[in-house]
Each structure stands twice: as C-alpha cells, then as structure tokens.
Amino acid sequence: MQYKILISLILFFTTFKAWGAIDLSASQTNLMNFRNIVSSRNPDDKAYQSLYAAAQGFTSAVAGERSDSEIYTKCKIALKEIYPRLADAAYYYASKGNQEEVLKYACMYVDVAIQPCLSKDSLMLSPRFGTLANLAATNMFNRRQYDSSIRYFEAYLESKDPASREIAFEGLSRCHFEQKAYGAAANIAYQGAIEYPNNWNILVIGIEAAGYNGNDLEMGELLEKALRLQPEHIGLLEYQGKLYERQRKYDKATHSFARLCALPGATLDHITHLGFDCYNAATLIYVRAKKNGDERAMNEAKMLYKKSAAQLQTVLNNTPYAANVARALAFCYSVNNEAVRLEETNRVLNNLNVPKVDYSALPTLVQSYTPSLNYATAAQSTTVDIANGVEEKIISDVDINIPTVGLLNENTLALIISNENYANKVTSKVDFALRDGEMMVEYCKKVLGIPEDRVKYYPDATYLNMKQAFSNIKDLTDIKPGMFNVIFFYAGHGMPDQIGENSYLVPIDSDGRNPESMFALDKLYADFDKMKTKNITVFLDACFSGQGRDGRSIYSARYVARDAADVAAKGHTVVFSAGTGSQLANPYKEKGHGFFTYFLLKALQESRGKITLETLSQKLSENVAFEVQNKLGATQTPTVKASEALGSTWKSRNLFD
C-alpha cells in the first residue's frame, strides 16, 4: 500500500512539473512555417498569421524568465528574427487597405521592440519604428484604449524619432488626463511645452491637469506660455490671477485682473479681485514700511490703497451688503487720511453691525474675495509674518520639474522621516528638513513609481512615531517575505554618543542627552538585516558631529564627533550618508534643501530613476563636494557603505531593484 502511494506521488509531481514547464514547440513550429513559406514565395496571409502566432508565443514565454535561462535565450533569438518581419506585415496589409491588420501588426511590432530581453538591442532606432509606434498609439487613443496608447506613445518618445514627437507629447498627456492621472498629464505637458512652447493643445491640457492636481508651480509656467500666444484670453487670465492670489503674490495678481478689467465684458467679480489684490499688496508693503520707517515704501502703499479704493467703491455700490468690501475700503481711506470718506464707510459698517475702522487700526489681509456679510480677515500677526517673508518657501528646480515615469513599482516600500522642528529649547531647527522629506515623497511616487499607500511619510516624528514607523515596515515585510525592497530616507539631526562608539537618529522630542530616547544606528541596521526583504537602501541627510546644519552645536553640552559611516551596514543594506567624520550636512539655502538631498533628487530627476547605486554615489560625492566648497568654502563629502556580504554586487543595483 505504501509503495503504491509513493509511486502515485512520484507520478503526480512528475506530471505537475511537466504542466509547469514552458513549451516553446508551438511557437517554434509557427516560426518554422513562416520560414518555409518565405523561402519559396513572397509572404502571404497564412505566412504572416504564423509569424504573429510565433511572436505571441515567444513574448509570453520570455515574461518572467531569468536572463541566464535557456528559454530566455531562445526567445530572445527568435524575437530578434521576428521583429523586422512584423513591420513587413504591417506594410503588406497597408497595401491591401486592411487597417485592422495594419494596427494589429504595428502593435505587435512595438510590443516586441520594448521587450526587456531586447532592451540593449536598440530596436526602437529602426527606421520604421517611429511610423508604426505613432500609428499604434494614435489608433489606440481613438479607440479609448488609453493603457495601450500610453505604452506606444512612451515607446515612440523613447525612439527619439522627431517626425511626430509633438503629437506624441500631446497624445500622451491626453491619455493620462482621460484616466484622471492628472499629475502625470501635467508633467508630460510641462515637458512637451519646453520643446513645443507654441502648441496650444499641450499648454491647455497641462494647465487643466495642473489645476486638478494642485500643482501651482507647473501651472504658473504653462500659463505664462499660453498667455504669450493669447494675451487676452479671459479664462487664462482668471486662472493666472487666482493662482497668484493662492501664492500670495498680490502684486502680480493685480496685473492679471487689471488686464481683465480692461477687456470688453469685464465683470463685477474681476473688479472685486482687482480691488482686493491692490488692497492686499498695499497691506504687505504698508506693514513692512511702518515697521522699518520707510517713507518711500509707505507712499507706494498709499498709492495702491487709492487704486484699491476706486475698485472697491464700485463693488460696494453694486453690493451694499458686502461688509468685507466696506471694511477693506475703510482701511484704504484710513491710511490715506480721507476723513469724510472714512466716516461714510464707517456708517455703512455700523448699519451692517460691523465694527468701524479708525486711524490707529493696522490693516489686515482679506481672506475671502466674495462680497458678503462675512468680514473675516487674516490676523494682524499673520500679515506681519507674510510681510517679513516668514511664510515664503524657496522653490528650486528639483521641486517643479519632477518626471513621471509611468512605472508601477509595487515591490518597494519607502519610509521617509524628516525632523525639522525640535520640541525642546536646547535643540536647534534643521533648516529645510521638511521640504527634503516632502519632495522625497514626490520622487518616490512619480519617479520611482511606488504606489502612494506604500510610501510612509513621518514629518517631525517623535520617538513613538519613529518606533511605530520602523515596526510597520517590519510587519509589512514579514507578511510577504522576500517580496519587497525598502528605501529609508532620513533628514534631521544625528548625534554621536559621548564615548564615540555609536551614532543616533534624533526624534523631535529628544534632547540628545539620553540614548534611550534616540535610535542607535548599529541597532537599526541590525533590525533592517533581520527584515525579510530583498534589498534595503538608506539615505541619511544628517551629520553626526553634534552640530546642526547652521554649524552651531545643536545641544548645550559638548559631544565627541562620530561619523555615521563608521557604523557598518549589515546584510543586504547599502547606506548613503551626507558626509564623513565631523563634517556638517550643510543646507543649500538657494535651493531650499540640504545639499545632499538636493543632489540626490537632481540625480533622480535627470536619470528618471534609471541610475545605478554606483553612479548615484559618484554623482553625490562629486556634486556635493564641489558645490559646498564653491559656495561655502567648506568640506562635505558624501559616502556610501555596503555590507561586506554584498561585495561589489550592490554597485549595479538601482532603486527599482
């Protein structure tokens, strides 16, 4: 009995293995049939049907195969033979007027060219590739098969064929827009507008997509290009004016709405915006001038208040219930000492049961531009902060031109912690750390293709926040062992211990004097090594010398300098650090980032994420070292350390691996 069971199990597993094996015989037979036909006569329908079936079979077989397998090699050789004949088939059916078959073979022609196994064979440089890729892309778009259209438009753009490149940018951005992938649509339109600034369709798609996606920076640049083509376009001028208002660039907003008000058919809404923009622009200047005793700026503010009053009086005449308009108007008259008009306007406020405005009151910014009984304004302290530039953000080139690669990188988890504002009085602020973290999140999603729910972001993280963050990543990798790569990015304070044996990451609620309130790098790397992951890549934009980004001691006590790179990476972990020894992790003030993070993002931006860790290391080391020396006269040399177990294999890895 036991013998029969054993025989049955052997037969079962033998059969199962046979079922699981990939059978290339049908594909090889179809390819052989095609060869036999073309050896004796010109290819016909039957020949090309065999060719198509062979192409289908080999592309299916090669998917997921290891590059060193026999099947992979056989499929690659066959597909290289099949590839040019698929183009022949498309032109054959074009001569017969069979558009469906033309599209079918054009699509397969592109699908073969973009197979990973043929990526180094430059098949997209073939003379007929551009024509057939564009044909496939535009036809799939017209059929609303946007996923396929995206694939073919992307392939066309990668081919560098110039003939239909403008159409491809427009089509690709439209595909993403139709799928409500507004971030991708805006980014592609933005790229297209750089090459084709006079393409109205690309500009409009980009503006609409950026509006849906809330990307004011890209929208602003696209609006400027579009308005150069149609300077009196009412819709675009409204978009631009309201964009400037969101950005608190009230002086620029006044120009947009002044142009609108000068056009035929100007509305009361346009006049309202112009009046409030003049008022808010004047208020920022006035508050600053009053603080600094700047008489010239004071006069500039008063002139703007006069312009504002002219517009707001028109609005109030048409909307006598508008308390917010009347209150702003009263401030205009108060600043310019127009006693009679101030008294008249205060009577309006009194009738509306709104507090009057007197000469001693400091004007405050208007929040709502809709004429209404709600007269709520920004607090005086907010007005002063904005006037002093406290709320201004520095926007750099890596913040606005983020490529969207269109890949779905589901096998990567990203953990991003950025600690800028420390809770205790003895710890200094880390300039731009939050911006570093925010943009790293965007690059993980757009450039590296990591799904949003797999990018874990912890701004200004406490000890418990950080502990939970590390625990969550471990739990996810435990559930699906061996599936994930992990990227860990940290911007914030680092700290050496007092005897120089370890280095720590500092939560915002730690004062650095208690090791138990921080995270030791040696333990963190050991925990990473225990995770059931494929690879872990660590980026630390922090120095471990006991000094902040401003060069001053971050704590009142003295600590011994200790380099993060001295804490060895373990297992399958590669660690990129912002500097060595007692070097500072300097802020790049002109760019609003740390030097290390800026050049990390720059490398990802320029390479669209397709960069090996070795090349990334070289770029970081060269660019950071040069610019820090050039701009600050200081030394900062990023380092990369990999565990001994990895040898040199880490060098060919990238952030998709």
* Token pair in block for residue 38: 């073309």
pLDDT at residue number 177 = 94
pLDDT of 562 above 80: no
The SS3 assignment for 450 reads coil
Going by pLDDT thresholds of 50, 70 and 90, the confidence category of residue 165 is very high
pLDDT of 566 above 70: no
**pLDDT digits 0-9 by tens, 431-457:** 899 999 999 999 999 999 999 999 999
In a domain, 421, yes or no: yes
Least confident window among 109-113, 256-260, 396-400, 549-553:
549-553
**pLDDT digits 0-9 by tens, 117-159:** 998 899 999 999 999 999 999 999 999 999 999 999 999 999 9
Range of the domain at 492: 409-652
Q: Answer whether 198's CB lies under 8 Å from 170's CB.
A: no
Instruction: Answer yes or no: do 434 and 325 share one domain.
Output: no
- What is the pLDDT averaged over residues 38-43? 92
**pLDDT digits 0-9 by tens, 460-494:** 999 999 999 999 999 999 999 989 999 999 999 88
Residue 192 phi, psi dihedral angles, 5° rounding: -65, -35
Going by pLDDT thresholds of 50, 70 and 90, the confidence category of residue 645 is confident
Which runs of consecutive H residues, i.e. helices, occur in 388-492? Answer: 397-400, 433-446, 463-479
CA dist., res. 595 & res. 167, Å (int):
38
**pLDDT digits 0-9 by tens, 212-253:** 877 788 899 999 999 999 999 999 999 999 999 988 899 999
pLDDT of 545 above 70: no
Please report the sign of the dihedral spanned by the C-alpha atoms of residue 622, residue 628, residue 634, residue 638: negative
The CATH code of the domain that includes 269 is: 1.25.40
- What is the pLDDT averaged over residues 160-168? 94
Give per-residue burial for 211-233: e unless 16+ CB within 10 Å, then b: bebebbbbbbbbbebbbeeeeeb
pLDDT at residue number 156 = 95
Instruction: Answer yes or no: do 520 and 600 share one domain.
Output: yes
pLDDT of 18 above 50: no
Q: Answer whether 510's CB lies under 8 Å from 518's CB.
A: yes
pLDDT at residue number 584 = 77
Which one has a higher pLDDT value, 509 or 104? 104
DSSP letters, 609-643, are T---HHHHHHHHHHHHHHHHHHHHS-----EEEE-
In a domain, 400, yes or no: no
Least confident window among 60-64, 288-292, 541-545, 625-629:
541-545
In a domain, 156, yes or no: yes
Going by pLDDT thresholds of 50, 70 and 90, the confidence category of residue 379 is low
Instruction: Answer yes or no: do 76 and 219 share one domain.
Output: yes
The CATH code of the domain that includes 518 is: 3.40.50.1460
In a domain, 295, yes or no: yes
Measured in whole angstroms, the distance separating CA 89 from the mean position of its chain's CA atoms is 41
The SS3 assignment for 387 reads helix
Going by pLDDT thresholds of 50, 70 and 90, the confidence category of residue 548 is very low
In 3D, which of 250, 268, 262, 256 has the Cα closest to residue 370? 268
Instruction: Answer yes or no: do 221 and 331 share one domain.
Output: no
DSSP letters, 302-338, are HHHHHHHHHHHHHHHHH-TT-HHHHHHHHHHHHHTT-
In a domain, 1, yes or no: no
pLDDT at residue number 399 = 85
Instruction: Answer yes or no: do 176 and 261 share one domain.
Output: no
pLDDT at residue number 561 = 37
- What is the pLDDT averaged over residues 87-100? 96
Residue located via tokens 């004097």: 513
- What is the pLDDT averaged over residues 206-214? 88
pLDDT at residue number 64 = 77
Going by pLDDT thresholds of 50, 70 and 90, the confidence category of residue 392 is low
Average pLDDT score over the chain: 87
Going by pLDDT thresholds of 50, 70 and 90, the confidence category of residue 555 is very low
Instruction: Answer yes or no: do 337 and 474 share one domain.
Output: no
pLDDT at residue number 635 = 87
* Token pair in block for residue 494: 């680092």
pLDDT at residue number 515 = 82
pLDDT at residue number 424 = 75
Count of the separate structural domains present in the chain: 3
Packing angle, helices 25-40 and 70-95, rounded to 10: 40
Residue 494 phi, psi dihedral angles, 5° rounding: -115, 165
The CATH code of the domain that includes 214 is: 1.25.40.10
CA distances to 432, 436, 631 from 588, in Å: 9, 11, 9
The identity of residue 427, as a single letter, is: T
pLDDT of 344 above 50: yes
Instruction: Answer yes or no: do 49 and 197 share one domain.
Output: yes
In a domain, 11, yes or no: no
Instruction: Answer yes or no: do 311 and 440 share one domain.
Output: no
CA dist., res. 421 & res. 507, Å (int):
10
pLDDT at residue number 494 = 86
In a domain, 568, yes or no: yes
pLDDT at residue number 331 = 95
Which DSSP symbol is given to 512? S
CA distances to 379, 441, 489 from 419, in Å: 28, 14, 11
Give per-residue burial for 447-471: e unless 16+ CB within 10 Å, then b: bbbbeeebbbbbbbbbbebbeebbe
Going by pLDDT thresholds of 50, 70 and 90, the confidence category of residue 502 is confident
Instruction: Answer yes or no: do 223 and 253 share one domain.
Output: no
pLDDT of 579 above 90: no
CA dist., res. 346 & res. 329, Å (int):
10
**pLDDT digits 0-9 by tens, 178-202:** 998 888 899 899 999 999 999 999 9
Instruction: Answer yes or no: do 611 and 465 share one domain.
Output: yes
Instruction: Answer yes or no: do 531 and 444 share one domain.
Output: yes
In a domain, 396, yes or no: no
In 3D, which of 95, 73, 92 has the Cα closest to residue 34? 92
CB proximity list for 203: less than 8 A, separation 6 or greater:
189, 193, 197, 222, 225, 226, 229
pLDDT at residue number 657 = 73
In 3D, which of 249, 251, 248, 226 has the Cα closest to residue 237? 226
Instruction: Answer yes or no: do 501 and 379 share one domain.
Output: no
